[in-house]
Amino acid sequence: MERPKLIETFRELAVELTEQDLPHFDEASPIASLGVDSLQYLEIIGELERELDIEIPSEALEGLETVAMLLDLVEKRLADAAAP
């Protein structure tokens, strides 16, 4: 999946779960600034895993502060899944 599509998918999930518009959303946004609580964050991760058919270990989520950091991890997991 292309990076712009990943960004949009994350944004759509965050908007759906927080029930608020995110007009100033971008990759550099700290996840905490989006109004996403820890349970919603885990729900977003779960949806990404289902939609993209990947697994993201809980320990890999530690220290991820921005949307970009999370999407970097998602891209790595997608690349790992595609590798023979």
Which of 36, 72, 76 has the alpha carbon at shortest distance from 54?
Answer: 76
The pLDDT score that the predictor gives to residue 47 is 94
How does pLDDT run across 21-56, given as a tens digit for each residue? 888 888 999 998 888 888 999 999 999 999 999 999
Give yes or no for a contact between 47 and 14, defined as CB atoms under 8 angstroms apart: no
- pTM listed for this prediction: 0.89
Q: What is the domain extent for residue 78?
A: 3-82
Q: Tell me, what amino acid is at 73?
A: L
For residue 18, pLDDT beyond 90:
no
Give yes or no for a contact between 36 and 19, defined as CB atoms under 8 angstroms apart: no
Supply the CATH number for residue 70's domain.
1.10.1200.10
Helices (H), 19-55: 38-52
Domain count, the chain: 1
